[in-house]
Structure formats: C-alpha cells, structure tokens
Amino acid sequence: MNFSSNSNTALFFSSIDEISNEIWTQLECENNLYFHRDFLKSIEINHSEINFYYIVLVDNSNKPIALASIQIVDFYLDTVKTNFEDFIRKIKNLLRKLYILPNKKALKLLISGNTFVSGEHGIFITHNQDKKQVIKNLAKAILHFVNSNNSINIDAFLLKDFVNESLFITDELKNYNYHPFSVEPNMILEINEDWISFEDYLNAIKTKFRVKAKKALQLSKDIIIKEVNDHNIENKLPQMTSLYKKVVNNADFNLSHFNLESYKTLKSAFGEKYILKTYELDGKIVGFMSGMINQNSLDAHFVGLDYSLNRQYAIYQRMLYDYIQIAIAKKIKTLNFGRTASEIKSSVGAKPQDLTMYLRHKKGITNKIVKLFLQYIQPSPFRQHFPFKNIKNE
C-alpha cells in the first residue's frame, strides 16, 4: 500500500510491487533497464539492510511524469578515504565535540539515485517536461516524504550522480540548501562504428598500447572464461562473493555493499543483456566480471579478482579488453567502465565523464559545516593516457 502522505505532486511507495501497471505504462520508462521494474525489484529484494522507497511525480491532471528511486542506508563517515586525511579527521573531531556526529553512530542517509551503479540512474523524467521544475518538485517531495513519516528519521540527503550537461538543471537544488561536490568520474569508451572485431580496436591504438594489450592477452592465456547462467550460478557465487569483498575492501568509498545474490534474478530477468562471466585457473575462480547492456550502452558493473594473482595473469586488464570485445561484438556505441581505477581504464581508451552529487544535512548549522567538508572531498587525480593513434602524444 502506498503512503497516506501523498502530496499534490507526488505519490510515495515502499515497494516496486505497489506501483500499478497503469503507472508503469504511463511512465514508459522500462526501455531504460535501470528503471525496469525487474531491475529495481532485484536490487530491492536482495538488500534487506536498505529501506527502499519510490517517488512518482505527477502533473496537474495526476498523470505520472517522473520516477525517482530512493534508498535509506546507514553510512559511516569513517569509511571515507581522501587525500586530506588530517583535515577530515579534524572535521570529524569537531563534529563529535558539537554532538553532531556521535562516536561510532551511523548517519541515516537518504539517497536519490542508484546506490550500486554510477551514473544518472536515480530519476526518470518523461518527454516534454520542464526538467528544472521536476527537480524542484523532487526536492520538495523528498522533504514532504520525510517530514510526514515519523518512523523515518533522516540525517542527510544525497542526490547522485549528474553529468556536466545536467548541472544547469540540477543546480536548482542549491536553492533547497543542497551542496554540490565532485566524485570519481565514470570512465567512458566510445566504440568506433568501424570496428568489426577486436583486431580493429588493436589496430586503432598506438604501438606501445598494442604491445601492452597483447602482453596482457598472453599472460592471461591460461585463464578459462566461463559464462555464468541459471545452472551454475549457485555453485559459483561463494567464490565470487569472496573475490568481490577483496575489491570492496580496496575501495575509497562505498555507500553500501552489493549482495551478489542479486545476480540470480538479474540474469534470469535480462538473459543475454546481463553479462556475467568467471575467470578460472585450475578449476578455481580467480576473477569475475558483470555488466548490463542498456539501450546503446554496455555498463560494467561489479568485478572481483584475486589480487595475489592479478599481476602474474593480468586478470583485471584482461577483463577490460573483454568488455571491449563484448561491446564491439554487440555493436554497442558506448562502453561505461564506471568509477575507480581510472588510469588503467584510460590506458585502454576510456575518457573521464565528470559526475556531481548534491548533499544536504537536515540540520541547518550542520549543513553549513558540511559545505566546508565537501570542498575537500575531491576525485583522486590520475594520469590520463591517450592510446589512440589519432590523438596527440601525451
């Protein structure tokens, strides 16, 4: 049942199943798989530690015009790693002295966006809408939702991840006391339509990068790559989960941990559109890769790998080239490698796509301190490579 706190411009739901078929039909959002009910349902049912909600914005005639995905998570500030550790430590100590950030206590963080996937997957807006007004209505709807439900106690609000082209719209959030800050970019590779095979890609890159690619392929030649399907996923998940945890522990920033059980329902719902492969040596899984074909894009999702064998067998680098091979074979236009490991991704041709998040603390005084804090949460610098022949030397 949807909440009784519905407003004139928004409907609120606590489960995907509560949203009627009529609303889905009117939104026409499911061609984008991130707003497909099966995708959202898979994430919802496999992450019981997260509270999921959905906001449907409506126009004056009560017709749905936008869908926003909301998650409420417990977030620990101590998990944030930056290049300014001393400064962050001082800020955290100050917040604790002011009883704004109690020791060891999680912040209740309301997120509008996809907790597990980077990119603009938080709000779907139907055609011919005033997007600035939609963003304003979303900000108002989030506040209405929180203020009208006593059982929901939120410390802060986070709207993620917006590309530069959207900032002239999303900067409307500043008028609602949200503060923008930059995060690690998505690394994007545009697939040349003339590439028919992986050899065409290799021929398009400079000699030193082609040598590097062929070396990685040689080092990884003993790895057996296997498709994960409904028949073998149950046996593979324990090893995959162990490898995923190793990657997570290396990350600078995580809003929440992904439950790999989600792969069962994602693979079942989307078949070949959901990519899932394991990398095996002597019968042991030493890595896995996942991704989703969404319209004209292949989006890399989570990976896992055995770091102790990574250098010897070039496991991660091989994965990057395999993503490229899949994109070429599927005639994809854009390959989105996601965040992290930006330099090695740039070495295969990916370019950074800047992303901005907006954060607001519920308390006014704290929100002003948050603004200062966010100035020091910046993406880690990396060396951008230019492997293609038609690009000037670095």
Q: pLDDT tens digits for 141-174?
A: 999 999 988 888 899 999 999 999 999 999 999 9
Same domain (yes/no): 168, 203: no
pTM summary value: 0.91
Q: What is the residue-wise DSSP string for 107-175?
A: EEEEEES-SSS-SS-SEEE-TT--HHHHHHHHHHHHHHHHHT-TT---SEEEEEEEEGGGHHHHGGGGG
Q: What's the pLDDT at 11? A: 96
Q: What's the pLDDT at 12? A: 96
Q: What are the C-alpha distances in Å from 50 to residues 116, 189, 256, 326?
A: 12, 32, 9, 33
Residue numbers of the chain with a pLDDT score lower than 70: 1-5, 77-105, 251-254, 391-394
Same domain (yes/no): 137, 19: yes
Owning domain of residue 137: 10-185+354-374
Does 388 fall in a domain? no
Does 393 fall in a domain? no
Does 93 fall in a domain? yes
Same domain (yes/no): 82, 205: no
CB-based contact 358:173 (threshold 8 Å): yes
Which residue, chain included where needed, has tokens 């330099």?
A: 343
We report the CATH number of the domain holding residue 216 as 3.40.630.30
The token duo for 41 is 């349902």
Same domain (yes/no): 199, 139: no
Same domain (yes/no): 207, 336: yes
Total domains, the chain: 2
Q: What's the pLDDT at 393? A: 52
Q: What's the pLDDT at 378? A: 77
The token duo for 203 is 């021929």
User: In terms of Cα–Cα distance, which of 205, 201, 286 is closest to 242?
Assistant: 286
Same domain (yes/no): 150, 51: yes
Q: What's the pLDDT at 379? A: 84
Tens-digit pLDDT profile for residues 80-127: 554 444 545 555 566 665 555 555 667 899 999 999 999 999 999 999
